[in-house]
Amino acid sequence: MKIVLTGNDLTVDKVWDIAVKGAEVEIGPEADATLEASRKLVYDLVDADVPVYGFNTGVGWNKDHKIAKEFFEEFNRKLIYCHTFGVGAEASEAEVRAVMAVRLNCLLLGYTGVQPAVARRYAELLNAGVHPVVPEKGSVGEADLTQLAHIGLAMIGEGEVNYKGRRMSSAEAHKLAGLEPVVLGPKDGLAVVSSSSFSAGEAALVFKELAELADMGDIISSLSLEGLNGNTSPLEAEVMAARGLAGQAKCAENMRGYLEGSDIYEAYPGKPVQDPLCFRGAAYVNGSLRDALEYAGKYLFIQMNSTDDNPCLLLKEKRIISNSNFETTTLATAMEMLAIVLSHVSRMSCYRMLRLANPELTHLSRFLSHDGGESHCFGTIQKCFASLDTEIRHLSNPCSADYLSLSGSIEDHANNTPLVVQHLHQIVQDLQYIYGIELIHACQAIELRKRQGGFTLGKGTAAAYEAFRRALPLYTNDRPLAPDVKKAYEFVKSAALLESVKR
């Protein structure tokens, strides 16, 4: 598999293919020509001796320092050195690949003036499987300088990388891969570090899993509704049309499709006229997630297919100008909106589980015990999903507005986009666990309902139920539940639920 990068059409799915599936990358011919033309302009400006930030001047508070031509290589190498101080846990190899793919794609637009050999090195490292070691913490979000510097360090043959399952020096990996370290020239150092591609690359991978969770949420909510034998009136198309919200209308449409043919549509004496909001409003809150995904997806696509460089090289106008294109507040707050909506999605899921364990609502056994209550069954597991939900709630608190004024008060705004994305990543992982536990509850309730006198599932929920049962059997006796929770989490994370329903 090979993906041609042009600078204009990098999608979340393409990033996933490069990062997770190991697809090779190729620079499109027009983009390659743009790299050459923009680099020529850089050298023309060198000869004109026009003062340009980070090009022939220092950076940050040192913007008043002039850099002579003979010191360009040393200045750019030291620029990489002085920004290389990421700390904490390291990004996974898939995340590093995503970051490199995004940065390369944006360089191809020609607004950076980077040395073509530097741009091509991103592709060469990706295709050779040489992955720089990149700590995740250290950026305040006004460009991910501190993380991206670790990639620049690897490009010049320094620092550490992961290569073919081994951690080694970049110099050794370059030799094994048949590459020579790049030599940096004017503007190259800043082109490597002054970007928000670390945030965007990690966000693309989170976004892919989140979109799958949104689809799975409709299926899981449908299974839980059958476990309750609840009401379908909130899903009717006419009700959705009256409200006019696209996200919830789509979720309700999905749920109607999954529930088609289900006995849930049959009335019975004493059936409540409406259910608790965690069931009644599932499509509505899941719809809020869809709306938020549409908004955030728009700005993530722009981030992955535009320049965020300062200074910005304008090839047609033959000049380089200072700017704040590295500003990612729109993306950061869009991701925070997703986190806030996910806290609602999580809480709804937890309440559905609590309600399914309540015999007064379900007319099933307490805690969904198979033996009528002698087994403790799903009593204590509530503490597990309650803990996960609490973590989601706290991670959903906005952090983009919490920053300091830095670099002699020159850099007096920030947005903490990397931290925002990392919070979102943890929320997604927690919700995958919670959805896995909800599947355990919903399928157990369905099994008990079938035992009461038969219960036909919808065509979509039946496929989902059977797929989950192949991964995890019915709970028939008290046993350690941690292995079950892990299997359920892995089932959700793999998106096997979606595949089973599609088939």
Tell me, what's the pLDDT at 54? 56
Task: Provide CB contacts within 8 A for 440, sequence distance 6+.
Answer: 378, 381, 472, 475, 484, 485, 488
Please choose, from the candidates 258, 261, 271, the residue with its C-alpha nearest in 3D space to the C-alpha of residue 222.
258
Q: What integer pLDDT is reported at residue 168 of this predicted model? A: 98
What are 62's two structure tokens? 């040192």
Q: Is 83 exposed, middle or buried (0-12, 13-18, 19+ CB in 10 A)?
A: buried
CA angle in degrees (0–180, nearest 5) for 139-336-487: 95
Angle between helix 417-451 and helix 381-395 axes, rounded to 10 deg: 150
| pLDDT the model gives residue 61 | 52
With 0-12 / 13-18 / 19 or more C-beta atoms within 10 angstroms meaning exposed / middle / buried, residue 202 is: buried
Secondary structure class of 20 (helix, strand, coil): coil
Best CA proximity match to 96, nearest among 30, 11, 163, 39: 163
Q: Which of 93, 98, 212 minimizes the C-alpha distance to 493?
A: 212
Among 456, 459, 463, CA closest to 501: 463
pLDDT recorded at residue 55: 61
Q: Model confidence over 157-181: pLDDT tens digits?
A: 999 999 999 999 999 999 999 999 9
**221-365-269 Cα angle (round to 5):** 75
Measure the CA–CA gap between 471 and 473, rounded to whole angstroms.
7
pLDDT of residue 187: 85
State the Cα–Cα distance between residues 386 and 358, nearest whole angstrom: 16
> Phi/psi at 189 (nearest 5 deg)?
-60, -45
pLDDT for 42 equals 83
Domain 2-195 belongs in CATH node 1.10.10.60: no
Q: b or e along 140-165 (b: 16 or more beta carbons within 10 Å of the residue's beta carbon)?
A: bbbbbbbbbbbbbbbbbbbbbbbbee
Amino acid letter for position 496? A
Is the pLDDT score of 346 beyond 60?
yes
Q: Where are the domains of the chain?
A: 2-195, 203-309+325-477
441 token code pair: 């509850």
Mean pLDDT of 121-143: 96
Q: Which residue has the higher pLDDT, 42 or 198?
A: 198
* pLDDT of the residue at 76: 85
The pLDDT confidence band at residue 223, using thresholds 50, 70 and 90, is very high
pLDDT at 347: 98
Q: What is the DSSP string of 243-303?
A: H--HHHHHHHHHHHHHTTT-GGGS--TT--SS--HHHHTHHHHHHHHHHHHHHHHHHHHHH
Task: For residues 302 and 298, give the distance between their C-alpha atoms in angstroms, rounded to a whole number.
Answer: 7
In angstroms, what CA-CA distances link 456 with 199, 208, 465?
46, 33, 11
pLDDT recorded at residue 59: 56
Q: Residue 312 carries which side chain, given as an amino acid letter?
A: C
Strand, helix or coil for residue 400: coil
Report yes or no: 139 and 44 within 8 Å, Cβ to Cβ. Answer: no
pLDDT at 479: 82
Decide: 433 and 388 in contact? Cβ < 8 Å: yes
CATH number for domain 203-309+325-477, candidates 1.10.443.10, 2.102.10.10, 3.40.50.300, 1.20.200.10: 1.20.200.10
Three state DSSP letters for 140-165: CCCCCHHHHHHHHHHHCCCCEEEECC
Binned at pLDDT 50, 70 and 90, residue 322 comes out as: confident
The predicted model gives 33-57 an average pLDDT of: 78
Longest dimension (CA), the chain: 89
Q: Please tell me the least confidently modeled range out of 61-70, 198-207, 421-430.
A: 61-70
Residue 232 in tokens: 């379908």
Given this model, what pLDDT does residue 374 score? 72
> What is the pLDDT at residue 69?
56
Mean pLDDT of the chain: 92
pLDDT at 60 over 70: no
Report pLDDT for 45.
Answer: 79
455, pLDDT greater than 80 = yes
Proportion of the chain above pLDDT 70, given as a percent = 95
| 233 pLDDT above the threshold of 90 | yes
133 contacts 404 by C-beta, under 8 angstroms: no
In tens, the pLDDT along 430-441 reads 999 999 999 999
Q: Which helix (H) or strand (E) holds 436?
A: helix 417-451
Residue 65 clears pLDDT 60, i.e. is over it: no
Stretch 214-237: mean pLDDT: 97
Instruction: Summarize pLDDT for 286-315 with one digit per residue, the tens.
Output: 999 999 999 999 999 999 999 998 889 899
Residue among 312, 320, 352, 334 at smallest CA distance from 441: 352
